[in-house]
Every structure is written in structure tokens, then in C-alpha cells.
Structure 1
């Protein structure tokens, strides 16, 4: 019998015994742990003061582990909550609750994001809220005028996204406005350099499953540098990502998801191709017409900003071409199909062309629009 197999045979009875021994009731908790869990439950019935005035429901901490060290303790917990009227399912956040024992009782001293977990907006300070007709804007360290202006822009962005995307979606958005670029990066769990110069990004899982955490996160520094028209384009682009989330999957090409969002954002504006695609126009004037639609790696942040701009602009022109040549319903159908079919199949079924045909038509449009 081979050595590995022999070892497996010796271990199996021991493993089986251990499994059988663990099939009974869970190990009982001692009185101190029960008291700690009860203290967390009592404390968590009321949201923190930083969230006063925020529409919340289902606010609850579920403790998964307790660690004691004398008169101090730490509870690992999952916070679950909904923003009333905006979240289709509960949002979740891994938290670490700190407790101290005073006068024979355990009391919560505070909580924070668990190690490795992203902080929540209220971890950065008191949250102010502005509610619009289609959006809820939550900000930290921002004046009321700024938050109101962003809410007004979001109220224009949501109908614009709905006009471009006729598929089902909530028709509302939650916008987070942290106090700085660094604070934005904390919320997203990425280096600040990746978001420098950007106006906003969208968070949330793609796919049809309920996803409560669709949030548009504004970079206040990048936002301040945008023109009023630029702010409208950026926010409509990000809200369109929220609208199309359920139809977007890992098979959806980035040129299609990003190009569609830009197409929706520019759809109701008077921007010309030269104005909307300046980086690509410069490349075309140098005789550099792209040989193929942008690849996924072309959208990576932190590299050449001109190359990144060309990727977005080329994607927009490609979606614009599809909408003009085959019709807006065909573009929407392509998006829906590309989330569940290979791209060649989706192109054939939605447009009746293959990738080579589409690429040639796009290159011709790039030359004619940006020469």
C-alpha cells in the first residue's frame, strides 16, 4: 500500500471520531460571554449619534466571536442594516465592538471596522443627509450647499439613466460624499492614487442577486475640478452603472459596460465627438486609429492617463455607433445578451454581425468623427 494511502487510512478513524464528537449541541457559553453578547445587543438597538436623521431600518449586530482580556473584551460582529426606501436587501459590515467591565457590568465603549474590513461613512464623522426626489446624498465634512448641489445633480442623473436603460431597476440612488480623496480611498479599500482626478465611482456587486450596497462615492477633490456639464456626465455615468448592475456579469466586456454608461451620460447633451473624446481625437490626428475595441486591461487605473481616457472614449464611440446604426433597443439588447452569452453570440443575435464587422465599422466611425 502506498505511504500516502496508508497515512490516510490511519487518520480516517480519528477524524471520524472527531466529527461524531462535534455533532452534538454547540459548546455552552460561559456567563461572561453571555453578558457581553447581551451588552452588545442592548447597545446596538439604537444607531450611533453620527447617523442621527438618516433613514435606517433593521439595524442589528450579530456577534460571531468574543475575546476577553480581564476587564476588557472585543466582540467580532456583523452589522446589518438598510437605508429605508433605497436598499432592496440588508447591507453588511464586519465590525469590532470594544467593551469594558465597570461596576460588575459589561458596557460597550465603541466599535470600528473589523481588521481587513472597509470602514463605513459614519466612522469618518457625523453624517449629514440631503434627500432629493430620486436620490439620497450622505456626506461627512461637507457643507449643506455642496450636498444639496450633488443631490440636485443626482435627481437629473437618475431619470437620464432610466431613459437610456429601460430595464427594471430601483430608479433611485445613494451618493456618499466623504471629506477628502484619502477618506474616499478608505471607504473603497484602495490606494488614493487610484482615484486621483476621478469625479466619482460606483460600488456594488454585479449580477441579478439582490445587492444593497450600490453606492456612488464622490471624490470631493476631483468633483471640485469638474465643470457643471462634467459633473452631470460623471454622475449620470455612475448612476447608469447602478441601473445596469443586474444585467452586468463577469462576461460583460468592459468596453460595453463603460461605453454604455458614457453613452447614457452624453445621450441628452449637445457634446460633439471632439468634445467628448479629446484624447482619442489627438491619437487619430497622429494616425493612431485603434486596431480593436479596448481590452479589460486598458481600463486599469494608475497607468497612462491618456491611454485610460482613450479606452473610455473609444468605448463610448463604439456604443454610440451601435445606437446610431442598429438602434438604441439593439444596444440595450446587446448589453442584456452580453451578460449571459459569449460576446460573438450576443453580437450575432442582437446586431447580426461578428466582432470583425463591428470593429471595422467602429474604426471607420472613429476616422470620420475625429479626423
Structure 2
């Protein structure tokens, strides 16, 4: 046997042992770490007392890492839970659980959002719960009257959205009302400046077969500045996003998703285009007719408020035009198809047109409806 072959034969058992150690069962955790994990599991079997009244199910902490320092320990974990009757899939939250060893046993002493992760509503204080016919409202630091008003608007918004969107959806909504704009921004993990002036926003995963864990967040400062009619429009707009979530994908143009939500909100009302689109009306009267339907980047949070308003108003008027000229059902079919195929194909199959033709019809509508003197109808 050659020296090289002899070396390989001798090394083979060692090599095999290394490979087996790397791809076999994981190393056994030490007893102290296992005790920490078991303490978190036992503690998390029951939701905290401050969550009493919130309909919870599937409450569980999945520990991913443990760090010990003498009689203190910290466990990184992912919290999973569902709001009974509202969530089709678990909501998730990265958490940091603190423990101390007392009398030889580990005991949980605290639980908070993991560093860099947004908090949950209950991290901000005691949660008030209001159940409506179609909405679950959870609030912190709000009066009972405010929560009741928001709940009533949400209960009106849900059937209005169902009338506009005949596609399948849950027909109910969860509304979170934190104590301030800054508190809302904390929950969303974004700067407060991005939401200043907004009445509400919606979160959720697009393109899901059954939209899971959608949440409508109300900005209490923006909400207080709205008229009664404005509050109805805002909540119906946000609930529309919840209803259309399963049909919405990254391919869906934002002018269509935002415009449809506003169309559902204004549908059946008496608000005129000049009243609902003041920024775009001013631009058209200055001779600044938009050259194209609003691009996705025009809807970015934190954009110039006037430009952002023109984008939303133009999107609404585009959807309003489609519904008026080709019918409500055509607008709904366009929405459903635009999330699965190119916009040009979706337009051809639903209204028999193309993007340039729709743009030209939209521009003509803007001239007709916005350039007329205020108070003069131009149907």
C-alpha cells in the first residue's frame, strides 16, 4: 500500500466522525438551558392577565436562543397567536423573555419586544376591548366614547365593502387604536412622520389565499381632525384593503389598489370629484394635466403631501371612470386579473382596452369633471 493510500485509510475514520457530528443529531442542550426553555413553555401556556377580554387562541412562545448570566437568563422567542374568529393564520412577534433563578428553579420576570422588533399593543398599556357586529376594536389610552365611535364606523364600513367587493373575504375586521401617533408608529416600526395627517393604515400579507392577521391601525390624532364623513371614508378605504388582500399581489398597480379602496369608500355617496379631489382639481386648472396614471412610487409614505394627494385622487377617478363606463363588475374583474397577469392583458380581457386608451379616457374625464367651475356638474 502506498504511503498516500495508507494516510487516507488512517484518516478515514476521523473524517467520518467529523462528518457524522456535523450532519447528525444536534448537540444535547445543557440542563440549565433546557430548564430555561421549560420555564418559558410553562409560563406561556396562559396569556398574561392584562390581555383578559381579548379573544386569543394558539398562544405560544417558540424559543430560538437562550443567554444565561449567573442567576439571570434571557430567551429570544417568537410569539404566535390568533384572535379568535378574526385571524386565519397566526400573527407573529419577536419577543425577549427575561428570567431569574430562584430556589434552583427558573422563573419568568418579564416579557418585551425583542430589540429592533415592533411592540404589541398590550406592551403600551392595558387594552380596552370593544366587540361590534363586524369589528373587534382594541385600544390603549382611549376613551370608551372614542372606541365606540370607531367601532360604529367599522361596523358600517364592512357591509359597504362587501357590497363593492363580491369576492370572498372574512367580512370582519380588527382595528387597533393606540394612544398617539407616536405609539402607532412604534407598533408599525416606522417613523411617526410617515403617518402624520393620516387617519388610518392597514397591514397584512398580500396574495394570501385567506388573508391572515390583517390589522387596521387608527392614528388618533389624524382621526380627531376628520369630519364624520371623512371618518367613514377612511375606515371604508382601509377595510377595502383587508377585503381585497387575497387578490392583491406585488403585480397589482398601486393606482388600482388605492383607487379601488377609495371607489368603495365614496361609492353611493354624493361627494363630487371636485370636492374629493381638491389637489388634482387645482393642478388641472393650472393646466398641469397628469401625463400618466400615478406610478407606484407616487404613493410612497413621506412624499410631498400635495403630490401624494394628487396620486390618490387620480387613482380614485381612474377606478370611478372604469366603473362608470364599463360597470362595477368590470372594475372588480380587472382588480382580480391585474394581480395575476400584465395590466395590458387584464385591461384587454375586462374592458377591451389598453393602458394608453385608459390613460386618454382618464385624462378626458379629468378635464371634463375638474376643469369646470365649482358647482357646475359635468357628467
- Asked if TM exceeds 0.5, the reply is yes
Instruction: Specify the alignment match of 1:165 in structure 2.
Output: 165
Instruction: Specify the alignment match of 2:343 in structure 1.
Output: 343
Structure 2 unaligned runs (5+)? 1-13, 372-379
SS at match of 1:22: helix
Aligned runs of 1:215-364 on 2, under 5 Å? Answer: 215-364=215-364
Instruction: Specify the alignment match of 1:26 in structure 2.
Output: 26
**What is the CA distance between 1:326 and its match in structure 2?**
0.4
**What is the CA distance between 1:84 and its match in structure 2?**
0.5
Return the alpha-carbon distance in structure 1 between the equivalents of residues 246 and 45 of structure 2: 32
Decide which moves more: 128-137 or 20-29. 20-29
Instruction: Specify the alignment match of 1:44 in structure 2.
Output: 44
Aligned runs of 1:123-134 on 2, under 5 Å? Answer: 123-134=123-134
Aligned runs of 1:11-22 on 2, under 5 Å? Answer: 19-22=19-22
**What is the CA distance between 1:45 and its match in structure 2?**
1.4
Return the alpha-carbon distance in structure 1 between the equivalents of residues 73 and 239 of structure 2: 42
Return the alpha-carbon distance in structure 1 between the equivalents of residues 316 and 15 of structure 2: 58
Return the alpha-carbon distance in structure 1 between the equivalents of residues 25 and 221 of structure 2: 54
SS at match of 2:23: coil
Conserved 8 A contact 1:95-1:114 = yes
Instruction: Specify the alignment match of 1:101 in structure 2.
Output: 101
Structure 1 unaligned runs (5+)? 1-13
Q: TM-score, normalised by structure 1?
A: 0.94
**Cα 1:164–1:63, aligned 2, differ >3 Å: closer, same or farther?**
same
Decide which moves more: 208-217 or 192-201. 208-217
**Cα 1:248–1:17, aligned 2, differ >3 Å: closer, same or farther?**
farther
SS at match of 1:303: coil
Return the alpha-carbon distance in structure 2 between the equivalents of residues 19 and 360 of structure 1: 66
SS at match of 2:244: helix
Cα deviation digits, residues 232-263 of structure 1 (max 9, x gap): 00000000000000000000000000000000
Structure 1 moving runs of 4+ over 4 Å? 14-19
Conserved 8 A contact 2:88-2:213 = no
Cα deviation digits, residues 195-245 of structure 1 (max 9, x gap): 000000000110024442200000000000000000000000000000000
Instruction: Specify the alignment match of 2:188 in structure 1.
Output: 188
**What is the CA distance between 1:23 and its match in structure 2?**
2.1
**What is the CA distance between 1:18 and its match in structure 2?**
5.1
- 1:115 and 2:115 are equivalent in the alignment: yes
SS at match of 1:45: coil
**What is the CA distance between 1:15 and its match in structure 2?**
10
**What is the CA distance between 1:368 and its match in structure 2?**
0.5
The structure whose Rg is larger is 2
**Cα 1:18–1:171, aligned 2, differ >3 Å: closer, same or farther?**
farther
Conserved 8 A contact 1:160-1:268 = no
Conserved 8 A contact 2:169-2:210 = no
**Cα 1:98–1:210, aligned 2, differ >3 Å: closer, same or farther?**
farther
Return the alpha-carbon distance in structure 2 between the equivalents of residues 144 and 249 of structure 1: 37
Return the alpha-carbon distance in structure 1 between the equivalents of residues 244 and 214 of structure 2: 11
Equivalent residues, number: 358
SS at match of 2:213: coil
Instruction: Specify the alignment match of 1:10 in structure 2.
Output: none
Instruction: Specify the alignment match of 1:35 in structure 2.
Output: 35
Q: TM-score, normalised by structure 2?
A: 0.92
Return the alpha-carbon distance in structure 1 between the equivalents of residues 121 and 367 of structure 2: 45
